[in-house]
Amino acid sequence: MLDLKDKLNPSQLSAVSAIDGPVLVIAGAGSGKTRAIEYRVLNLVTKGVRPESILLLTFTRKAAHEMVSRASRHDPRCKHVDGGTFHSFAFKTLKRYSKALGLSNQFSILDESDSAEAIHRCASKLGFFEKDLKFPRKDTLQTILSMSLNKGRSISEILEKEYPHFVKFAPDIQKLKKEYASYKLAKSYLDYDDLLVYLKLLLEIDEMRKLVSSRYRYIMVDEYQDTNALQGDIAYLLAADHKNIMAVGDDAQSIYGFRGSSHKNIMEFPKKFKECMIIKLEENYRSTQTILDVANSVLENMNNKYSKCLVSTREDAGDRPKLNFFKNHYDEAEWIVDKVRQLQSEGLGLEHQAVLFRSAYVSISLQAELSKNGIPYQVFGGLKFYETAHVKDILSHLKIVMNIKDEISWHRVLAMIEGIGPKTADKLTETILGRTSLEDVLGKALNDKCVPARSAKGLARLKAFLKSAKSCDEADPGAVYDLALDYYLPVFKEKFDDWNIRINDLEALRQIASRYDAIEELLADFAIEPPERGVLRVEPKGNSDEKPLTLSTIHSAKGLEWDSVFIIGLIDGVLPSSFSLDNEEEIEEESRLFYVGITRAKNRLFLSLNHEGTRGGITQFNKVSRFVEMPNVQAGLEAKFALEKDGDDGIDLDESDGIEPFYDKESLLNAIINRGRPRF
DNA sequence: CCGCGGAGTGTTTTT
DNA sequence: CACTCCGCGG
C-alpha cells in the first residue's frame, strides 16, 4: 500500500525505512527533510508502531503539526503522534510527573519579562540596587542568568565575554541566582529555562526516565543544529534506554547561537550513539540553480567550511537573483509593493510571496506602505503580541483568578489601581500571599484600611470582578475574559493614550480565549507557544478572503519556503547586525542567517537595501552588507548599481525590469565617500 | 507614597 | 524612540 520508492530518493528512502536504532540525518536546505519526516512517521505507523509512542520534537508546534497532518492524509492514525517544542514537551511532562521532583503541578510559567520582574524583586531584597554602584538592570540580569544556563558557562565567563563592565558584580549575581531559584520554588514559578532544567532532572531519575521512555519509544528531533547543550542532554536521555532516535539537522543553518545552540550537538551525536547511521540529503528540490549559486557562495566565504554544496535537481536555471539599491526606505517599500502587485497580477498569489528581514523594525515602513495599498499581510517575529503591556495586563487578571499565589500578577494588577503604587502593592501582595483561598483574600486581605481613600473605588471594583470571575464557569474562558475586560477597560483607557489602537489586540484575544476549554490551557499556551502577532494583524482593508503576504524575520522563516522571496535591509549593521561586528563567530552566524534567507526562495529572489539611514534625526548613509560584497555572491546577482571598484564586471545592467532605484549624482557620491565609516 | 515630568540610556534574533 | 530611572510636588 505504501509505495515509498516512487516518492523518495534513495537517501530519503533509507532515512524513512530506518526503524530501530539511532539515525543522524544531515539535510541541506530544501532537500526534502519535511518529506522524509512525514514519510518516516507514516512508515513507523504502517509497520505497527503505536502513533502515541512517537515523539516529534520540532522548533514550533506549527512545524510538528504540519508534518503530522501531512502523514495523516495517508493514514489517519498518524494524528495521534505526539509533538511540539522542547519547551512544550517539558511543560506537559512536568505537569504529569512534577511530584517526582517534589514540585507542585500547579506551577505558573514566567515569560522573559515576568522573569526579569521576579529577578528585580530578588535583587532588591538583597539590596543590590541600594549601593550606589551601577548594578545591571533587570533585563540584563535576566539575560545573564539565562545565558549562563543555556550556554553552560559560569556567570563570570558570561560577564567576561559579554558584559566586561559588570565583571565586578559576579559574586553578587551568583548570590542573586540562588535567591531567584529559591524564590521561584517558593512561588511555584517556572521560567523557560526551568522547563528544560527540570525536565532534564526528571529524566536523570532512572525510574522516571524508564517511565517516560516506555511511553515514547521513537524519538525524532528536527532542526537539531539549533538545540543547545541542555536540549541535547534531554534528547540523549529520552533515547538512552531504547536508542530509537532520529536527529535531523543542517550545520549550515545554525542560527540560534545567541541562545546557546551550537552544531556541536550534531557533531557529537555519533559519539553519543555509537552505532548511529548517518544519512545525507543533498539534492535540493526547492530552488533554482541561480539561487543556490548565491547561497553556496555565502557558505564558501566563511572560515568554518561547510562541506555542503547545494545542487538543484531542477531543469530550469531560473532568473538571476536581483539586488536593488534604493535611495531611502520609502522608495524601497514602494518598489516592493509594486513588485508584489505585479507578481500577483501574473497569477502568483500573496501567499506564495514573502518579505524577510533581520530585525522586525526594518519592516515598519513596508508595513505602512502595504496598509496604504490595502495589501493584507501578516508579520512573524519581532515583538510578540503577548509581550505588549496591555495583553500582559489583562492576562494578569486571569492569572490571579487561577492562582492566588501568583505574586507577580497580583502586583501588576494592584499597582494599576489609581492611588496604589509599588509600595502599597507590595504590602497588599504580602498579605494576600498569606491567605489560602480567594474568598479569604477578598474578605480579609483586601480591605480599605491599607489603601488611600482615592483607591477605595478601584479596589472595590477589583473585588467585584474577582468574585464574579470565581463563580463563573471555568470551562468558559470567554466569559471570564469578558469580566476581566469589563473591569480592565477603564484602567486601560486611562493608562494608554493609544488605547484605540491597542484595543484590537484585546478583541482578538477575546476570540482566542473563547476557543479554549480552560483558562489554564490558555495561559500555558500563551507562555510557551504564543500566537504570532501577525496572525491577528491581518489587515482587513483588502479583499476579505485574500490570503495575506508574509512578512517575517529570517529566524521565524526557518523551515518555510515561498515562490518569491524578498530580503530587505541588506545593510552592514542590519544584516550582519551591528551587535555581531566585533566577533568573528557571530558574524558567521549572521551569514548563515543570510544563507537561510536565500534558501527559502523557490523561483525568485530579490535582495534590496536603501542608503538613506536615519539615526536620531541625522541622515546617514547605509553601507551595503559585506555579505553582498563577497566576490562570488556579487557575481551571482543581477545588481542595479555597480558600487565602487567593481566596474561592471559580471554585472548585467541591461534589464531594468521596471525598477526605478535612483540616486542623484551627489547622494551617490556621498554614499561612496561614506563607505567604510562605521555606522554606530 | 503616588505619579508626573525630565533626563538618560541602549537599541536583535526566540522558547 | 521607548523605556527606565530620578527627583520633586502634592
pLDDT in tens, A162-200: 888 888 889 999 999 999 999 999 888 999 999 999 999
Percentage, residues of chain A above pLDDT 70: 89
Nucleotides of C under 7 A from a protein CB: 1, 3-5
Long-range contacts of A649-653 (CB under 8 A, 24+ apart): A652/A320
Is the CB of A403 within 7 Å of strand B?
no
Largest CA distance in chain A: 81
Measured to protein CB atoms, the chain B nucleotides within 7 Å are 1-3, 11-15
The reply to whether A495 Cβ lies less than 7 angstroms from strand C is: no
- Residue in the block written with cell 498569489: A349
pLDDT value of residue A614: 59
What is the mean pLDDT of the segment spanning A586-613?
Answer: 91
Q: Which of A17, A14, A10, A82 is nearest to A46 (CA)?
A: A17
Q: Give yes or no for CB of A102 within 7 Å of strand C.
A: no
Distance CA A599, CA A242 (A): 36
- CA–CA gap between residue A389 and residue A111 (Å, rounded): 13
pLDDT in the model for residue A96: 94
Between CA A372 and C1' C1 the distance (Å) reads 23
- pLDDT for residue A507 is more than 60: yes
DSSP β-ladder status, A82-84 and A54-57: parallel
**Measured from the CB, is A421 under 7 Å from any atom of strand B?**
yes
Between CA A513 and CA A534 the distance in angstroms is 17
Which nucleotide comes closest to A137 if you measure CA to C1'?
Answer: C4
What single DSSP character describes residue A577? Answer: B
**b/e for A588-608, b at 16 or more Cβ within 10 A?**
bbbbbbbbbbbbbbbbbbbbb
- Amino acid letter for position A154: S
Cell triple for A61: 508546534
pLDDT of A647 higher than 50: no
Q: How far apart are CA A575 and CA A570, in angstroms?
A: 6
Residues 371-410/A with CB within 7 Å of nucleic chain C are 389
3-state secondary structure at position A623: coil
A595 strand B contact, CB < 7 Å:
no
Q: Integer distance in angstroms from CA A421 to C1' C10?
A: 15
Task: Report the percent of chain A where pLDDT is more than 90.
Answer: 46
Cell matching residue A133? 554602584
- pLDDT band at residue A529 using 50, 70 and 90 as cut-offs: confident
Q: Which nucleotide lies at the shortest CA–C1' distance from A424?
A: B1
Separation of A254 CA and C9 C1' (Å): 55
Query: A385 forms bridges with which residues in the sheet?
Result: none
Tell me what pLDDT residue A616 has: 45
Q: What is the mean pLDDT of residues A510-520?
A: 87
Report the interhelical angle of A584-598 vs A289-300 (nearest 10°): 170
The one-letter code for the residue type at A565 is V
Distance in Å, residue A254 CA to nucleotide B13 C1': 12
A415: exposed, middle or buried (Cβ count in 10 Å: 0-12, 13-18, 19+):
middle
